């Protein structure tokens, strides 16, 4: 079961070298690279949450993607840049430069196969910046390559209707959304009796700063939480998780179909598709 939730017919690593060499229309085939983490998620969730969520969501999306939309998913990169959690046992982290180098070399490999559309689908909130830099650098190396640095939670989904306002704003780790999704994906790995609610200490009233958003400060998880949870895990229900998963899968199926159709607005530009002269 190396493919996890991904339908076997959509799992790139189950193809052969001959399948890749002879595949027609590779320029418009969408390749997905899940980018995740192995890091603490409080007392009630396993270290693998981000890895399970990105594979679970993409698997459910690919299962409902029309057969006529060509798309393959690579095996996940389970190790991410998780040093904000480093003081909690169990966390594995690699440096930003290691992760960027790995993503860059995966991109070069996918381009060498003849594919021209690659989406990094990241599920860990501590590394979107690294994913963006790696995608931009690969785009610069390969003028005919379309790259998409994406975050798994950013497609339209049911979060806003399911989560309490405070949770939407500050429930950023192992809270209601992640717990509910894990109850839907891997119920045997959720320790229901160990769920907690822990919100971070408040900034002074009127502060322009916030934990995330436009004017953040650089925190470590132990600045914000004793348990490792930042949010309310106790509010999660299975029904909520199933609803979230269904909405995320719909969002990703729609986005993958759009990536398949995507044409870079500059594709008529003669400078694109060839090495630049300067």
Binding footprint of Zn ion on the chain (CB under 5 A) = 49-50
How far is Cα of residue 109 from the mean position of the Cα atoms in its chain? 20
Least distance CB 125 / Zn ion (angstroms): 7
Query: Between residues 36 and 100, which has the closer beta carbon with respect to Zn ion?
Result: 36
Judged by DSSP in three states, 263 sits in coil
Residue closest to Zn ion when measured from CB atoms:
50
Query: Between residues 221 and 247, which has the closer beta carbon with respect to Zn ion?
Result: 221
CA-wise closest residue to 170 among 131, 130, 219: 219
Torsion of CA 189, 96, 139, 278, to 10 degrees: 180
Least distance CB 190 / Zn ion (angstroms): 13
Least distance CB 86 / Zn ion (angstroms): 15
Least distance CB 80 / Zn ion (angstroms): 10
Query: Between residues 146 and 167, which has the closer beta carbon with respect to Zn ion?
Result: 167
Query: Between residues 69 and 186, which has the closer beta carbon with respect to Zn ion?
Result: 186
Query: Between residues 115 and 153, which has the closer beta carbon with respect to Zn ion?
Result: 153
Q: Compute the half-sphere exposure of residue 102: CA atoms within 13 Å on the CB side of its CA.
A: 19
Least distance CB 35 / Zn ion (angstroms): 12
- DSSP for 60-129 reads HHHHHS-TTS-EEEPPPB-----GGGTTSTT-B---HHHHHHHHHHHHHHHHHTT--EEEEEE--TT-HH
Residue 273, CA distances (Å) to 18, 113, 119 in order: 26, 16, 19
Query: Between residues 12 and 49, which has the closer beta carbon with respect to Zn ion?
Result: 49
Least distance CB 180 / Zn ion (angstroms): 13
Q: Is the dihedral of CA 216, 39, 110, 13 positive or negative?
A: negative
């Amino acid at each position: 079961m190396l493919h996890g939730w991904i339908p076997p017919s959509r799992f790139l690593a189950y193809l052969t070298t001959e399948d890749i060499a002879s595949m027609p229309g590779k320029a418009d085939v969408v390749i997905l690279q899940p980018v995740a983490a192995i890091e603490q998620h409080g007392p009630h969730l396993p270290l693998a949450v981000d890895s399970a969520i990105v594979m679970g969501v993409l698997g459910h999306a690919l299962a409902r993607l029309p057969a006529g939309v060509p798309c393959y998913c690579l095996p996940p990169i389970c190790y991410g840049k998780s040093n904000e959690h480093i003081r909690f046992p169990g966390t594995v982290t690699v440096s930003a430069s290691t992760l960027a180098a790995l993503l860059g070399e995966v991109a070069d490999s996918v381009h060498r196969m003849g594919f021209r559309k690659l989406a990094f689908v990241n599920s860990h909130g501590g590394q979107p910046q690294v994913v963006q830099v790696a995608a931009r650098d690969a785009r610069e190396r390969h003028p005919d390559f379309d790259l998409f640095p994406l975050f798994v939670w950013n497609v339209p989904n049911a979060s806003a209707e399911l989560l309490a306002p405070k949770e939407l704003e500050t429930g950023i780790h192992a809270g209601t959304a992640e717990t509910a999704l894990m109850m839907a994906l891997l119920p045997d790995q959720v320790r229901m009796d160990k769920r907690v609610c822990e919100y971070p200490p408040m900034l002074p009233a009127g502060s322009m700063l916030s934990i995330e958003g436009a004017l953040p400060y650089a925190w470590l998880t132990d600045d914000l939480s004793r348990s490792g949870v930042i949010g309310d895990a106790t509010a999660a229900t299975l029904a909520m998780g199933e609803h979230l998963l269904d909405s995320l899968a719909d969002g990703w199926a729609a986005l993958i179909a759009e990536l398949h159709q995507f044409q870079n607005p500059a594709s008529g530009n003669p400078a694109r598709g060839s090495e630049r002269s300067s």
